[in-house]
Chains A and B, each alone.
Chain A
């Protein structure tokens, strides 16, 4: 009886074999990870209202690019890696204001967002380190502080009719689940050279999905910047 081996299994097997076939060199100490990631972002502002849709009216139905930089400190490296990390990001939504008849104005309006996060991270890299399996699941959770400001048609920070300034800080939390792929498995010699010369132990491509609750923990006086984000990027462990 012939057994068909699926292509993905064959590829993974090849990667594992390739990874384990190299002569073992001493790895430099690893203590940190830096991530650069990008993804679409769209907040749940309109869900605050039963009938109004101020976000969609101004910025349309699409998403905007979120760019984030994360830096982690790995403090536990027994079974998997526990780390604490900080993230800073930026996104800008651009759109147009509305005239009194609700039609689109030529005046532009933009919302700028700078999210800051503090996270506890767990990476299950046991299979990678023990069996050279190149996929590493990761989960994260933590708190967030989103700085935001809205500009109007002349580029100034907006001000509502009641005098409220269109800028602020909204707090919340997040949970993230993701998967990382170890690039070193594709080029082990290059990875070893990278480690020896500049101390980068591992390089990953990764994708993660984040649930954000950013509304000052349910306050009805705060803008709802909650969202569900898919982000992908590159990470360096060193």
Chain B
């Protein structure tokens, strides 16, 4: 490969060589192949958004990328080649446009007002050395307006522009037989150095071991693909001390619940917007919130004031209505009888379930009528007495009561039968 390199005294260092092949004017370079991008320099890397591989067609540099390239004096090496050519000698040229500008790609004499005033030249035998990569380097340097740098203001935040790199080729062997024509290929590089503005924090929700951070974003509303990151922690932080905070996200919605927090501990948080090219905007105002204990339904249901789940012994509707208080001795006696005898027995549980289903409206009626309350107390007296005897029995003697009941029923039935038969005989 013969290469004539003329390094520009200004910002660009470009190595270009090519030989023209008669190709119709205005057409892209035949057999042109983009081979990809590389970082050149110490501690230099390229993010995938720059489109490093040979199949990438979009090449984007965001603000952080630009500052990094400039800080470490990195260069972007653009590799290209021609494949399957039939002529040996090629001449090639490279041009670079100004931000949002263009260069002509059909000649090498006209640069125009939006093209950098430098031209780079090289020569290459693509026939014997087929597919060899030709590098062109783009470097971001300089800050002052006097340098013809990639941007007139370096990596100035707030700008968003495209710079086009042009490769122009021709082969001298054909110049003798026909008019030389130049064919060009452009590679656009977008420098998105414009981060989104800060969102506005709304009032957050303080929950049990959690804080729901909410925000609005009226100023970035027109920009598609905006996402958000949340910075948060127990220590106060600001834009210069983000290392003190944890980073969550990005999220496409405008709220995020921080979980696993400590109740009654103050937490600091802020939000930043991130655009589709990874530009993270400034932080919102930093706010604070404190998670607090909350009883959800089940916790409230099980919360002890009176016991777990149901109040101790449960609720005896009719007896409470008749005796006026759930704490009355008679009510406690009936409740104890229920818990000790009825609930330990299948039919007993069914009886209790039926009682709970049917008794509340009856209890409401009784509670509002003193006469009915007195009548019910009279009716309940033998039951309360029997329940008292039964609950006084030692544990394990529970069978005695049902046995006594069965004997009473049998005795009553026998007595009734005897009386009836005696009357018939008489």
Q: What residues of chain B lie closer than 8 Å to A217, measured between beta carbons?
A: 346, 349-350, 353
Whether the Cβ atoms of B298 and A158 lie closer than 8 Å is yes
Whether the Cβ atoms of B352 and A218 lie closer than 8 Å is yes
Answer whether A161 and B299 are a contact pair too, CB < 8 Å, given A153-B207, A154-B259, A217-B349. yes
Q: What residues of chain B lie closer than 8 Å to A93, measured between beta carbons?
A: 297
A4 within 8 A of B: no
Q: What residues of chain A lie closer than 8 Å to B352, measured between beta carbons?
A: 218
A160 within 8 A of B: yes
Answer whether A106 and B357 are a contact pair too, CB < 8 Å, given A98-B295, A152-B296, A218-B350. no
Q: What residues of chain B lie closer than 8 Å to A100, measured between beta carbons?
A: 292-293
A197 to chain B, nearest CB (A): 46
B84 within 8 A of A: no
Report the nearest A residue to B354, measured CB to CB.
A213
Whether the Cβ atoms of B353 and A213 lie closer than 8 Å is yes
Q: What residues of chain B lie closer than 8 Å to A98, measured between beta carbons?
A: 294-295, 300
A129 within 8 A of B: no
Q: What residues of chain B lie closer than 8 Å to A54, measured between beta carbons?
A: 297, 300-301, 303
Q: Which of A139-155 contact B (CB under 8 A)?
A: 150-154
Q: Which of A90-112 contact B (CB under 8 A)?
A: 93, 95, 97-100, 105-107, 109, 111
A45 to chain B, nearest CB (A): 7
- Set A49, A154, A166, A211: member contacting B298, Cβ < 8 A: A166
Whether the Cβ atoms of B310 and A106 lie closer than 8 Å is no
Whether the Cβ atoms of A59 and B297 lie closer than 8 Å is yes
A226 to chain B, nearest CB (A): 7
When each residue 189-228 of chain B gets 1 if its CB lies under 8 Å from chain A and 0 otherwise, what string results?
0000000000000000111111010000000000000000
A-B contact count (CB 8 A): 152
- Set A51, A111, A220: member contacting B297, Cβ < 8 A: A111
Q: What residues of chain A lie closer than 8 Å to B412, measured between beta carbons?
A: none
Q: How far is the CA of A150 from the CA of B297 in the complex (A)?
A: 7
Whether the Cβ atoms of B208 and A223 lie closer than 8 Å is no
B368 to chain A, nearest CB (A): 17
Q: What residues of chain B lie closer than 8 Å to A52, measured between beta carbons?
A: 300, 303, 305-306, 311
Q: How far is the CA of A219 from the CA of B348 in the complex (A)?
A: 10
B309 within 8 A of A: yes
Whether the Cβ atoms of B257 and A154 lie closer than 8 Å is yes
Whether the Cβ atoms of B298 and A48 lie closer than 8 Å is no
Q: How far is the CA of A4 from the CA of B309 in the complex (A)?
A: 60
A55 within 8 A of B: yes
B60 within 8 A of A: no
B348 to chain A, nearest CB (A): 8
B360 within 8 A of A: yes
Whether the Cβ atoms of B356 and A106 lie closer than 8 Å is no
Q: How far is the CA of A109 from the CA of B207 in the complex (A)?
A: 11
- Set B208, B296, B305, B309: member contacting A58, Cβ < 8 A: B296
Whether the Cβ atoms of B343 and A219 lie closer than 8 Å is yes
Answer whether A154 and B207 are a contact pair too, CB < 8 Å, given A99-B292, A215-B353, A218-B350. yes
Answer whether A55 and B207 are a contact pair too, CB < 8 Å, given A48-B309, A211-B357. no
A24 to chain B, nearest CB (A): 46
Q: How far is the CA of A70 from the CA of B70 in the complex (A)?
A: 71
B326 within 8 A of A: yes
Report the nearest A residue to B258, measured CB to CB.
A154
Whether the Cβ atoms of B302 and A162 lie closer than 8 Å is yes
Report the nearest B residue to A226, measured CB to CB.
B357
Of the listed residues B297, B349, B350, the one surrounded by the most CB atoms of chain A closer than 10 A to its CB is: B297
Q: How far is the CA of A5 from the CA of B368 in the complex (A)?
A: 46
B308 within 8 A of A: yes
Q: How far is the CA of A216 from the CA of B326 in the complex (A)?
A: 23
Q: What residues of chain B lie closer than 8 Å to A224, measured between beta carbons?
A: 310, 356
B414 within 8 A of A: no
Q: How far is the CA of A40 from the CA of B212 in the complex (A)?
A: 32
A156 to chain B, nearest CB (A): 9
Q: Which of B281-339 contact A (CB under 8 A)?
A: 292-303, 305-306, 308-311, 313-315, 320, 326, 339
Whether the Cβ atoms of B309 and A221 lie closer than 8 Å is yes
Q: How far is the CA of A109 from the CA of B313 in the complex (A)?
A: 28
Whether the Cβ atoms of B208 and A152 lie closer than 8 Å is yes
Answer whether A218 and B294 are a contact pair too, CB < 8 Å, given A161-B299, A161-B302. no
Q: What residues of chain B lie closer than 8 Å to A107, measured between beta carbons?
A: 205, 207-208, 210, 294, 296
Report the nearest A residue to B312, measured CB to CB.
A220
A54 to chain B, nearest CB (A): 4
Q: What residues of chain A lie closer than 8 Å to B356, measured between beta carbons?
A: 47, 213, 215, 218, 224, 226
Q: What residues of chain A lie closer than 8 Å to B351, measured between beta carbons?
A: 218
Whether the Cβ atoms of B313 and A220 lie closer than 8 Å is yes
Whether the Cβ atoms of B212 and A106 lie closer than 8 Å is yes
Q: How far is the CA of A158 from the CA of B425 in the complex (A)?
A: 73
A97 to chain B, nearest CB (A): 4
Report the nearest B residue to A156, measured CB to CB.
B259
Q: How far is the CA of A224 from the CA of B357 in the complex (A)?
A: 11
B59 to chain A, nearest CB (A): 42
Binding site for A on B (CB under 8 A): 205-210, 212, 257, 259, 292-303, 305-306, 308-311, 313-315, 320, 326, 339, 342-343, 346, 348-354, 356-357, 360
Selected A-B contacts with CB under 8 Å, 15 pairs: A49-B310, A50-B320, A57-B300, A97-B300, A105-B292, A107-B294, A109-B296, A111-B297, A160-B302, A211-B357, A215-B353, A217-B346, A218-B353, A223-B309, A226-B356
